[in-house]
Amino acid sequence: MQLDISSGLLSTARYLSSPNCDERPDPQDISLIVVHNISLPPNQFGGDGIDQLFTNRLDPNEHPYYRDIHELRVSSHLLIRRDGELVQYVPFHLRAWHAGESSYGGRSRCNDFSIGIELEGADDIPYEDVQYERLNEVIDALCESYPGITTEHITGHCDISPGRKTDPGLAFDWQRINRVTG
């Protein structure tokens, strides 16, 4: 797996550009990985709802759940699907809109300095082995390419937005990823 620093893209990922991103306040300050989960519709896997959400094309008539979220303007840098496919929506050097109101290590606005990685899943459904394999490959590539990222600075959305977010959930096995603390 190769990461091109100039483009901010992974060679093994399908790139689907999201308009929901902007410049980072300090492009040199990329120092955190935030692990999320997502499934659209909830607890259903394999459809194109995630792609549609992150590219502002979610049809509110396609599923009742979509009526409440179709106007959201959110994104993540990367999605790891249940079968291991990687989909990149935002180049890593840009700011994706994944964390919302958040704080890590005494710093607020985690989108400014983090990379958001979504796993296709749900809080209480076990993740696939291949998802952990891909996540570890991505972590290795990010740590190699961005010196501010270390395995000590990998966290869950639930940890940076406690009380507001629960992902990646109890089904996520932190022991299976390249992380020093957890």
CA dihedral 107, 161, 78, 133 (to 10 degrees): 100
Decide if 128 is catalytic: no
Q: Report phi then psi at 136, rounded to 5.
A: -65, -40
Backbone angles phi, psi at 69, to 5 degrees: -120, -5
Q: Which residue has the tokens 């599923």?
A: 63
For residue 136, what is the DSSP state?
H
Query: Tokens for 117?
Result: 């990685």
The DSSP call for residue 67 is H
The residues with which 156 forms a beta bridge, in sequence order, are 35
Choice among 71, 85, 101, 118 that is catalytic: 118
How many whole angstroms separate alpha carbon 155 and alpha carbon 30? 14
DSSP states of 137-160 as a string? HHHHHHHHH-TT--TTSEEEHHHH
Tracing tokens 């989108």 back to the chain, one arrives at: 111
Residues annotated as catalytic are 118
